[in-house]
Structure 1
Amino acid sequence: MQEEQVITQHKLTGGCLCGAIRYCIDGEPFDADYCHCRLCQQQTGAPVSAWMDFKVGQVQWLEGQVKEFASSDTVRRGFCAECGSTLTFRHTEYPDYLTLSIASLDNPESVSPNYHIYTSSALDWHRIEDSLPRYVKGRSD
């Protein structure tokens, strides 16, 4: 008698503060980071943002539609038009990838960042106290 293998797919769910936008993700992120850049600080109103990276095909939008703002020639920052929640970061030169805010997850404890980027913009009063790798700019800069 052959044993049946059951493979369970990891699913992450999340959305905006008001519930107008909901998403579901199949699988784990391929990367995750803390970003200390000024644009993320201004977008979120926080000293640091936590992001997770997926292939576009992993993300399914269940309700609502993300509104995007072009913060540069190549970057689109997504948010809920109703409540303003920060949701996505999309680099137009990498159309197969989508970055989502870890804080927008229903269970944000399920994903942890792996490193810090743009620490040159980190605010002096916000101390980085973990031992994760730190990059003055992006990891590839």
Structure 2
Amino acid sequence: MKEVAGKCLCGEVTFRVCGAPVELHACHCSMCRQQNGGSAFIGLHTAEGVKLKKTDGLTWYQASEHGDRGFCKTCGATLFWRMQGEEKDFSVSVGTLAETQGLKLTSHIFTDEAPHYYTLPDDAPHKTGAQVLNEFIESQKHV
């Protein structure tokens, strides 16, 4: 995967994801499920990030003290997730991409918040919210 096009449902937001996939996770936290209407946010993070092309419909929502969610204000499509204060480094909703061949889920995260109405598949490692936060804190010590 070098560059892959992505867009919202109505086309008011278009972009390209660039570089090799770094992580493709399914987040089962309550906020992701609320934003997506009941299912996980499946987010792709790539080595070279995202190049925004058309941003007429793009708006950001500060969903928590640590994360922002990007969506189209015209059609409502869930598009991005980023750490608070990050302007260019964010995860892309994989369902918005024109091409997904070759992508493989790397983890299920915030599994301790997953609802009882679906069973988590065993296709990738499971991580609780505490594990995800600890990994993030550790990664920041080396930056």
Q: In 2, distance between residues paired with 1:16 and 1:120? A: 30
Identity fraction in percent: 25
2:51 is the counterpart of 1:60: yes
Q: Match of 1:139?
A: 132
Q: What residue in structure 2 maps to residue 22 of structure 1?
A: 14
> Is the helix fraction higher in 1 or 2?
2
- Rg larger in 1 or in 2? 1
Moved over 6 A (4+): none
Shift in Å at residue 116 of structure 1? 0.6
* Corresponding residue SS for 1:139: helix
State the partner residue of 1:78: 70
What code does the residue aligned with 1:48 have? A
Q: CA deviation at 1:59?
A: 1.5
1:45 counterpart letter in structure 2: G
- Give the gaps of 5 or more residues in structure 1: 1-8
Aligned length: 132
Code of the aligned partner of 2:52: W
TM-score (norm 2): 0.81
Give the match's secondary structure for 2:35: helix
Take 2:87 and 2:5, find their aligned partners in 1: how far apart are those partners?
22
RMSD over aligned Cα atoms: 2.0
Query: Any idea what SS the aligned residue of 1:30 has?
Result: strand
